[in-house]
Chain A
Amino acid sequence: MRFGDLLRFAWQVLGGYRARTALILLAMGIGVAAVVAVSSIGEGARLYVVNQFGSLGTNLIIVLPGRSETAGAMPGVLIGKTPRDLSIDDALALKRSPAILRFAPLIVGAGDVNAGGRVRETPVLGTTAEFIQVRQMDMGQGVFLPPGDPRHSQPVCVIGSKVARELFGTRPALGEWLRIGDRRFRIVGVLARQGQSLGFNTDEIVVVPLAAAQALFNTEALFRILVEAKSREQIPHAKADIEEILRLRHEGERDITAITQDAVLATFDRILRALTLAVGGIAAISLAVAGILIMNVMLIAVTQRRREIGLLKALGATGAQIRAAFFTEAVMLALGGAACGLAVGKLGQLAIGQFFPDIPFTAPWWAVLAAPLTAIVTSVLFTVAPARRAAMLDPVMALSKR
């Protein structure tokens, strides 16, 4: 039997049982569409996180107090014990490393910000002039904190755009004074709108000089130090230098954690990739269900088409030809279902993208490949038994039944 004839024969069968064909296509299509849509949501989330990390700054190394073996496990580090605080002197000592371009020590707290009778509680960041370059943020108006010795501070601050709007409305905020706790600061700059970045909305923060923050929150300890390496290649050297410099300063104890952006990114990447695979896998179960449906339908077909199979055998069809006819039918159903599914999945992905324009929903290549492949493999596997049964049919018995 020629391949073209095999295709035509299967096509005629599919056309001959339209409702049945449509239902299987639907089942297969839903399975494939589910895999594509679900995995593209996962992949979108992953890309979103990757982009967010990219927006943190380039060649970034984050230094935290406390030792953590699992680099990048942010929550664990956040609640981890700190045997020894990081100090401003620790940060300044980093200047010795030739691999480090600049750094910004950081203190984070929350304070009631008071201006012209309005009060708002905001996160307050204490840092130095380098912060804006390390984090690659832009100024909307005015200037960032002035450079100088981080141990001494001027009473100036920079505020996020949302803070400015809420405290001053449409009035210009530059040059105004605001009060945090019992200290007064003059606003020298307003940050450009940037929005959410890793759960931290930079539109809602107030940035004050490091020494001022230390006094405000009554602490010497740094929350962390953001370090920018001179280049991507220098990141490992910078990390080694940081660890060595701080080890020496901390009497030989390795009690800090330096996490590179790459490490954090890789961790998130791994987690989200695994998550995408997992949900994709769950969606793939529906493909297995569709496969079982195909088997069921094929078994019914063997019974329903007994006479036809008997006739084909009487006309000289071999067992292999009968099996080939059934497999061709199954593969055509799977391919058709997969094509419908990919189309619907793509549409679904575009539809979700309309609702969440920030997240780059894209079906990962492996899902686009694996979903149709799974559809074909399951339908072929589940056709083995019915095709065997058909090929073994006794033509005399099959033909005698009216």
Chain B
Amino acid sequence: MTKEISLEHVWVEFGEFTAVQKANLNIAGGEFFSFLGPSGCGKTTLLRCISGFQEPTRGVVKIGGKDMKGVGPNKRPTALIFQNLALFPLRTVADNISFPLEVRGVDKKTRRKRADELLELIALPGQGDKKVSELSGGQKQRVAIARALAVEPDILLLDEPLSALDLKLRQHMRTELRSIQKQVGLTFIYITHDQGEALTMSDRIAVMNKGKIEQIGDGKSIYDHPTTSFVASFVGENNVLDATVLTNDGKMMEIDAGLGTPFKVESHPAGGPALIPGDACQLFIRPEALKITKDENSINQFDSQFVSEEFEGNMRHIVLDAQGKKIKLSLINDGANAIGPNAPVKLGFAPELGIALKPGELASA
């Protein structure tokens, strides 16, 4: 069974410090929902509000339509997977997994049976008698998940569970987590500062900054159509150019970024308040949206000079200089030769790939 969660005007304050501001959102049953944001943005606090370790200062947390005020963490239908996993070091793997059953007074035989079932699910059959310390990082990860699933919670909360793993394992665990979620059909609420994790696994993502939810949407809409400067600069790489709006007819805008001919970009009516002529704005162009062009007459083109190149196997990351502004360009490695030092490069981008937003806080790199 899955239950929906709704946060209504949730505020969390610690003295003077506001950890969460007016969080409003609904998470549907069975959804894989991620909170993405830099550390200290309040995502863990929000998770603790849902799991019951933190009472919101204001606002309501509802699980399955029921107000959770005053309901302790041990009475909520949630299971939390901690950042450090919090496996009990003195217990065996099976005893760890069956701990939630043990505290509910389930007899030993049933406990053991359930533990074996779950070990089967997480692909660690017959390892129940091992000590936790004998497991590898990825195995511990899976044991933590099995333990959380032991009492069949309605909602599984995961607090950056993969951050301690190495890259390869992290990528492997992403797919694994996703498949476990599909298999058990639970609501997963996932906290991460790693956009790759959020984008690959989630049905929907909420991007948070300084306690505020900046944007909620699926991975593609967050990446392709960010609505705030923070989201645009935090999710993925982006080139930022300060610019001024010249015209805006609701579908297309003309903006001057001080790089020759004014650029034409699509205006995104969904992206908050509309920009009117004369407004200052920030133009975001993804490194992979930029193309090297030879055509003198194509739109949205500007001149730049080669500065340096980073080679990453499948991709080439090139840094260019356009009238004193640093521009990053990512090209697929198609075997082309490197660009010579200080060589002039003409760049261009499609109008739908440039995003003009109201100036706002950028994510610090």
A and B associate in one complex: no
